[in-house]
Chains A and B, each alone.
Chain A
Amino acid sequence: MVLAMSENEKKKEINRNNFLKIAWGAVAGLVALEIGGVTLAYMQPRLGDGEFGGMIEAGEVDTFPPGSVTQITAGRFYLSRLVDGGFLALYQRCTHLGCSVPWDQVQEKFICPCHNSQFTTEGDVINPPAPRALDLFPILIEDGIVKIDTSNPISRQNYEHSQVVYA
């Protein structure tokens, strides 16, 4: 009984005046959301063709001997050809704080100058503080030419065989 009463009272509270207040509030909220959404969409990254961020041709398959790491400076990545002939395109950006990781030919690993993170030829972490393996770019091999799409680096926890691309 008491419950029903209080519900009745609540119903009474939504009169014309209250309804308009709520409606105006909702419209104002909607407008704010729209403006926010438009601003965010406007701020989205815009990438140009031909530069880093677009499709990069690394070269013919045969120019990369198995077991080699080649830096492709235009695409900010390393083309790593594993011993079994498979390809990985490793983004040079350290997953810790974004430094550029150089390839150390003598020790055969990537060593970051900033915080000494180290990575294998597959990009796996050997030494922290890097929290995960180097990011990958998708590889496309057409007519014996290795092409890399640098628009969107793919983050991964660690190396898996399924990430390797074969000619």
Chain B
Amino acid sequence: MKPEDTGEIPSSVFDRMRKTLALSGIPADRRGRMRMVVDSLILHIHPTKVNSRTLRFTYTWGLGGLSALLTVVLVSTGVLLEMNYTPSPPDAYLDIINLTTNVWFGSLIRNLHHWSGNLLIVTSVLHLLRVFFTGGHRPPRELNWIIGVAMLLLVLGANFTGYLLPWDQLAYWAITVGTSIISYVPLVGEWLNRLLLGGPEVGAATLLNFYALHISIIPVSVVLLMSYHFWRIRKDGGLTIPKKPGEELPKKMESVTTIPYLVRPELMFAIAWLAIIFFWAMLVPAPLEGIANPLVSPNPAKAPWYFMGLQELLLHFHPVIGAVLIPVLALTALFLLPFYDVELKTVGVYFRSRRGRYLAIISAGLSLLISPIWVLLDEYVIHWTMWFPSWPTWISNGLVPLTILLLGIFVLTGWIAKLSRATLEERVLVIFVYLFTALVVLTVIGIFFRGPGMELFWPWMMPGH
């Protein structure tokens, strides 16, 4: 079956080439196929055999693999874009114009890069959700969870730094607003902001800084962490194994060879998604507005869409609370999740249990209801600074509403947990779902409902559209 096993030199030149490249085809026997995985540089990120249960598509949804695929697309198209780009105003903008009008397939490459970058944020977040909902962060996978969250932050950083590079009005003001949030960090914020911008405001130095971060520092970090992320999956014993609620895993489980049972669906999935991304990139152009003008701010000036939840928080809280304390608290809770949410019995069960499923739906529903109401109340009814004029605003419009909200969530979830006799892990699930839904609600309000002057409008009655 395998010519290289015979030790003979093939008579034909082409057969000799094929032998050198190990292109002798897929071995027919189980052993040969396992051997092939071990021998291959790319394939050996997989074990030779995998538990057949973990192959179920509706368990993983292929989200980690899709994120990896998008990273490959981003690196390939990014390298091509570099060859038609000068990181200096105003050439940066002119180069984008040239790219989209004069360069063969320039638009396609740019659109592919733009949409893959945005999609990567979505798939990374969904991947995080999938892992959390199936308990994939729990021991022994703590470290891989932490690396995953770190990579999510890097993906946001990559998107944010890439956002500036076209040097149009959209880019300039989104980065101005986004980086200004940093300056609210107590003590070091102003200094940090100037360091990142390379000056008092977004300018030539900022573009060069962001270019360096975007094309080298961040992607190198991502690729290194990603390699480690893959390696740890194997070190931690592969994927978590899907279970039904209350099910005990049998001692002996069926395992199948990676070739073809894992590699084949992976390839099909990758090809299907490549087709989707290409079609999308052909049909929907990446946005490009007029050249950046530091003298004229658009109205409204919005941060990139993935930071609109943060900007929405900033409309309701004093900046030190909204831009610093709340994100830091949330990120800390996310990073430390695998150290306080440790129940091993329900690993592999979506939403922990049947009760967990209902609780997750109820929690999401409550958050969908309460979050917009709170936004409306804070916009039109509550005026903390006017009610407590003698207090500093970081208390009256910061700690006071934050305490009320945290207490509210604590009491509400505690009450739900008590009524349903939920366990600790189910309560963590309820709080997580509640807060994540709130973040989605804030982001949607920020993107679609905020108009000129950052006032609330119905999307279909938005002025100037």
| Chain A residues at the B interface, C-beta cutoff of 8 Å | 40, 43-47, 52-53, 73, 76, 91-93, 96-102, 112-116, 128-129, 131, 152-153, 155
Contact mask B32-45 → A, CB, 8 Å, 1/0? 00000000000000
Determine how close the nearest CB of chain B comes to the CB of A69; give it in whole angstroms. 15
A102, A115, A155, most chain B CB atoms within 10 A: A115
- By beta carbon, the residue of chain B nearest A93 is B201
A11 to B299, CA, bound (A): 68
With contacts A53-B200, A96-B180, A115-B315 taken as known, whether A45 is within 8 angstroms of B173 at the C-beta atoms is no
- By beta carbon, the residue of chain B nearest A135 is B200
Q: Are B295 and A100 in contact (CB under 8 A)?
A: yes
Residues of B within 8 A of A97 (CB): 176-177, 180-181, 301, 314
A98 to B295, CA, bound (A): 11
B197 within 8 Å of A by Cβ? yes
14 sample A-B contacts, Cβ–Cβ < 8 Å, listed by A number? A45-B194, A93-B201, A97-B176, A97-B177, A97-B181, A98-B201, A100-B294, A100-B295, A100-B296, A113-B297, A114-B454, A129-B315, A131-B319, A131-B393
5 smallest CB-CB distances across A and B, nearest first, come from A113-B299, A98-B180, A99-B297, A97-B180, A114-B301
B453 within 8 Å of A by Cβ? yes
Determine how close the nearest CB of chain A comes to the CB of B456; give it in whole angstroms. 13
B205 within 8 Å of A by Cβ? yes
The residue that B198 contacts in the complex, of A40, A45, A98, A129, with Cβ under 8 A, is A45
Contact mask B199-228 → A, CB, 8 Å, 1/0? 111010100010000000000000000000
Given contact pairs A47-B199, A99-B301, a sample of 8 additional A-B residue pairs in the complex whose CB atoms are under 8 Å apart? A40-B195, A73-B295, A93-B200, A97-B301, A115-B315, A115-B454, A116-B455, A129-B315
A44 to B209, CA, bound (A): 11
Within 8 A of A (CB), among B125-145: none
A98 to B297, CA, bound (A): 9
Q: Are A99 and B176 in contact (CB under 8 A)?
A: yes
Determine how close the nearest CB of chain A comes to the CB of B158; give it in whole angstroms. 19
A39 to B460, CA, bound (A): 49
Residues of B within 8 A of A98 (CB): 176-177, 179-180, 201
B200, B314, B453, most chain A CB atoms within 10 A: B200
Residues of B within 8 A of A129 (CB): 315
The residue that B199 contacts in the complex, of A45, A100, A112, A114, with Cβ under 8 A, is A45
Q: Are A45 and B296 in contact (CB under 8 A)?
A: no
Determine how close the nearest CB of chain A comes to the CB of B189; give it in whole angstroms. 11
Q: Are A113 and B453 in contact (CB under 8 A)?
A: yes
Q: Are B176 and A76 in contact (CB under 8 A)?
A: no
The binding surface of chain A is classed by DSSP as loop
Within 8 A of A (CB), among B304-325: 314-315, 319
A97 to B307, CA, bound (A): 13
With contacts A40-B195, A97-B176, A116-B454 taken as known, whether A153 is within 8 angstroms of B200 at the C-beta atoms is yes
B10 within 8 Å of A by Cβ? no
Q: Are A100 and B297 in contact (CB under 8 A)?
A: yes
Residues of B within 8 A of A114 (CB): 177, 297, 299-301, 453-454
B265 within 8 Å of A by Cβ? no
A44 to B373, CA, bound (A): 45
A101 to B296, CA, bound (A): 8
Q: Are B385 and A113 in contact (CB under 8 A)?
A: no
Determine how close the nearest CB of chain B comes to the CB of A119; give it in whole angstroms. 14
B452 within 8 Å of A by Cβ? yes
The residue that B294 contacts in the complex, of A40, A44, A76, A115, with Cβ under 8 A, is A76
Within 8 A of A (CB), among B284-300: 294-300
Residues of B within 8 A of A153 (CB): 200
Determine how close the nearest CB of chain A comes to the CB of B221; give it in whole angstroms. 15
Q: Are A116 and B453 in contact (CB under 8 A)?
A: yes
A53 to B454, CA, bound (A): 31
Residues of B within 8 A of A93 (CB): 200-201
A128 to B295, CA, bound (A): 21
A112 to B301, CA, bound (A): 10
Residues of B within 8 A of A100 (CB): 294-297
Residues of B within 8 A of A45 (CB): 194-195, 197-200, 205
Residues of B within 8 A of A113 (CB): 297-301, 452-453
Residues of A within 8 A of B297 (CB): 99-101, 112-114
Determine how close the nearest CB of chain B comes to the CB of A10; give it in whole angstroms. 32
A128 to B176, CA, bound (A): 19
Q: Are B173 and A99 in contact (CB under 8 A)?
A: yes
A116 to B379, CA, bound (A): 14
Contact mask B315-341 → A, CB, 8 Å, 1/0? 100010000000000000000000000
With contacts A97-B181, A113-B299 taken as known, whether A43 is within 8 angstroms of B454 at the C-beta atoms is no
Residues of B within 8 A of A47 (CB): 199
Q: Are A46 and B301 in contact (CB under 8 A)?
A: no
Residues of B within 8 A of A91 (CB): 200
Determine how close the nearest CB of chain B comes to the CB of A59; give it in whole angstroms. 19
Determine how close the nearest CB of chain A comes to the CB of B24; give it in whole angstroms. 50
Residues of A within 8 A of B301 (CB): 97, 99, 113-114
Residues of B within 8 A of A99 (CB): 173, 176-177, 297, 301
